[in-house]
Amino acid sequence: MTQPYGPGQPRRQQSAADAIVYGWRKLMAQPGPWIGFMALAAVLTGFVSVMGIQLAAGRFSNPVEVVGLTGPSSVGRFLSTVVSQGVAVVVLALLCRGALRATAATRVVLSDLLTLPHPAPVVVVAVAVGVLQALLSTVPVLGVALMGVVWLAVTLVLLVMQDRDLAVVPALRTARQVLVRRTAFVVVLWILVALLNAAGLFFCVIGLLVTVPATVLAQAAALRSLDGRRALL
């Protein structure tokens, strides 16, 4: 039976900054597949968002109340958020799988980023996150901050899930073990990831095509470093 994630015995104590540097170098060593995938993902999510806008602007025959939101347009906004956020989770899961392959010293090609061997747990997470994000989007200011934290936590869960081939509940438990055992490390890493992606967002959003895969690679490498399987440098 595989042991839970723990500190392991890396060659030296790894830092969150090491993970970021590793992720950036890994991306720059082979940028083509990652940026190509992000471009495809941007087109897909853009299409879903446009369809969501059309849904939100549509008219339903009977007004339906959803978690305190009433009226056709509110229902449309809620459903479109669930779908768009769910699609984003699937995209993130594909990135996580590719990042795990890359940190295992495997050369990644674009096709590696377009397949999920076990999609069922990912779909469950996608639906749950879509609903949660739709709820949080109704909360001014604080909801936006919480949405960012949710995405960081979901990345960890998806990495654990695919690294260990776990179902949703075991993946949640294992991710919690990582947070409990290395809280400071994970929090600092999340802060650096948030800052880097904020910088990517600042550069006309296009920067996210680079910062998102770099930070996912960093988190995948950090997870395996915590498990003692691979040093970052």
Look at residue 219 in the predicted model and tell me its pLDDT. 95
Look at residue 52 in the predicted model and tell me its pLDDT. 66
Q: Which residues pair with 66 in a beta bridge?
A: 69
Look at residue 139 in the predicted model and tell me its pLDDT. 83
Name residue 85's amino acid. Q
Which segments of the chain have a pLDDT < 50? 1-11, 59-72, 231, 233
Name residue 16's amino acid. A
The phi and psi torsions of 69 (rounded to 5 degrees) equal -95, 130
Helix (H, G, I), strand (E, B) or coil at 71: coil
Look at residue 65 in the predicted model and tell me its pLDDT. 42
In sequence order, what are the residues at sequence separation of 6 or more whose Cβ sits closer than 8 angstroms to the Cβ of residue 154? Answer: 89, 92, 125, 129
Look at residue 54 in the predicted model and tell me its pLDDT. 64
Say whether pTM exceeds 0.75.
yes
Look at residue 226 in the predicted model and tell me its pLDDT. 79
- Helices and strands in the chain, H and E counts: 8, 0
Look at residue 91 in the predicted model and tell me its pLDDT. 94
